[in-house]
Structure 1
Amino acid sequence: MDLGLTGRTALVLGTGGGIGRGIAEAFAAEGAHVACADRRMEAAQATADAVGGTSTRAFAVELGDRAAEQDLICQVEQALGPVDVLVNNTGGPPSTAATAVPIDTWRDYFESMVASVINLADLVLPGMRERGWGRLVTSSSSGVVVPIPMLGISNTLRSALLGWSKTVALEVGPDGVTSNVVIPGRIASRAALDRDVLRAEQQHRSVDEIQQDYLVRIPARRYGTPREYGDAVAFLASDRAAYVNGAILRVDGGMIESV
């Protein structure tokens, strides 16, 4: 199936991690120009090198810094052309409760996880609407459906982006632009596997035992791969998904228990 992404410019945030790299790989495989962005240039460059191709570039950006976000868009446009697809894949906050968290901590993560996404979208949407084609895809967390204990900041702020994404979909749909959300289950990224190791250490159990706890809850009986997640994102950004707008797609192997 031709997804119609050949020659499109896709800006993917958070490509220093496994999920971000999987998304970048999926777009590159479809012939898109891929801008790999991360707060660490070396991480973004490692993904760009792994993805390969003459139209893949690495960029550094500190999300939450409005000037840096503006500069990122300018650099991408100069190197690869106007942004046709924006994939909002931002890093998560540390483990915390939802109460007794310093308000400055809330502000800092709101800036990097929510305001940055809104700002970047505002920078690229005028061009998308003028051209009559564009895609916003926001990678979220299963915590927005079933709140995850001790991820109070993540559950709260990522939920805010669900309302934003749906509202944007209503506004930009008439102009040929879509806005959708993707929710991962257990994806075998380096970060997820590191969390398994940490949980095993905290509970004085083996990593295999920790992972078995998850596997019995996943009908597919395995973790997903970053590339499988990336393929779902690429589909939502494609011509084939032009009538999918304002949606939430779960890529979880059936893990999330709610309807």
Structure 2
Amino acid sequence: MDLGLKGRRALVMGASKGLGRAIANSLAAEGAALVISGRSQASLDVAAAELLALGAKSCVGIPADVANGEDMDRLADGAVAAMGGVDILVLNHGGPPPGTAMQITEPDLFTWFQRITVSPIRITMRLLPAMRAQKWGRILVVGSTGMQHPIPQIALSNTLRASIWSWLKTLSGEVAADGVTMNVIAPGTIKTDRVLETAGKNAATKGITVEESLAASAKEIPAQRLGIPEDFGPAGAFLASEQASYITGTMMRIDGGRVRAML
């Protein structure tokens, strides 16, 4: 299937590795032009070369930290300068450290609210007017199934990611008539550094090994295995595609069936 992404201009945040990289890989394979962000220029340069080899029309790495609002402005402006505009925006970043709800502190709330909610909104509002003017745009938030079904031991993530989901749901209705779609793509237990960190926390709490913690997680998934980034990236490319033009304000779970909720 031709997803209609050849030559489309995509800004993918947190794309040097993990889930952001998985989406960038799929967009590159469809011939999209890319700007990728992360905190290390060296890592971005390596990723950019690999994405060009996969078929990206062009690829530029711009370092940026979601903890810094001015970095979001610079990243948006740099992407527009590099590609002439942004058609697809993938909002992705690392999550807060594992912990229970009782362990959340007020400083943690302020710190991570900036990263999870404020910065993604800031860069979106900088790029959204041009999408609306051209009557085409795709905005994806890489979220978590914890937005819908709170996950033990990542209470701060559960709390704050719910706010960005609520914002997206609200805004998606305001821009849908302009040809701009906004969706959440929510990973379940997929083998990334984040999942390994959480498994380590759970293992330490329960007095078991990380491998035993991961195996226990797999047993709770109907697919009977953990996901891999290659399970995730193509779904992001589809939601960015021409074929997904009537899908907006939704959450797509990539979780092997783990969340049993019907909504």
- Pairing 1:21–2:24 present: no
| Structural mapping, 1:1-259, within 5 Å | 1-53=1-53, 55-99=58-102, 101-197=104-200, 199-259=202-262
> Over the residues paired in the alignment, what is the CA RMSD in angstroms?
1.7
Distance in structure 1 (CA, Å) of the matches to 2:157 and 2:199: 18
Mapped contact 2:181–2:249 kept (Cα < 8 A): yes
Distance in structure 2 (CA, Å) of the matches to 1:217 and 1:100: 26
Mapped contact 1:27–1:234 kept (Cα < 8 A): yes
**TM-score normalised by length of structure 1:** 0.94
Which 10-residue stretch deviates more, 187-196 or 88-97? 187-196
Code of the aligned partner of 1:43: S
Structure 1 residue ranges, 4+ long, deviating more than 4 angstroms after superposition: none
Mapped contact 1:45–1:59 kept (Cα < 8 A): no
Tell me the CA shift for residue 161 of structure 1: 1.0
Specify every segment of 5 or more residues in structure 1 that has no aligned partner in the other structure, as ranges: none
Tell me the CA shift for residue 198 of structure 1: 5.0
Code of the aligned partner of 2:252: L
Which 10-residue stretch deviates more, 94-103 or 221-230? 94-103
Distance in structure 1 (CA, Å) of the matches to 2:100 and 2:204: 20
Code of the aligned partner of 1:4: G
Specify every segment of 5 or more residues in structure 2 that has no aligned partner in the other structure, as ranges: none
Tell me the CA shift for residue 194 of structure 1: 4.4
Distance in structure 2 (CA, Å) of the matches to 1:130 and 1:160: 27
**TM-score normalised by length of structure 2:** 0.92
Distance in structure 1 (CA, Å) of the matches to 2:124 and 2:98: 27
Aligned length: 259
Distance in structure 2 (CA, Å) of the matches to 1:50 and 1:191: 23
Tell me the CA shift for residue 43 of structure 1: 2.8
Mapped contact 1:11–1:86 kept (Cα < 8 A): yes
Mapped contact 1:64–1:115 kept (Cα < 8 A): no
Mapped contact 2:153–2:202 kept (Cα < 8 A): no
Which 10-residue stretch deviates more, 9-18 or 172-181? 9-18
Seen in structure 2, the aligned counterparts of structure 1 residues 198 and 106 have a Cα distance that, compared at 3 Å, is closer
> In percent, how many aligned pairs have the same letter?
37
Deviations 1:189-229 (A, max 9, x none): 23323443454455443443222211211111122221221
Code of the aligned partner of 1:244: I
Distance in structure 2 (CA, Å) of the matches to 1:106 and 1:208: 31
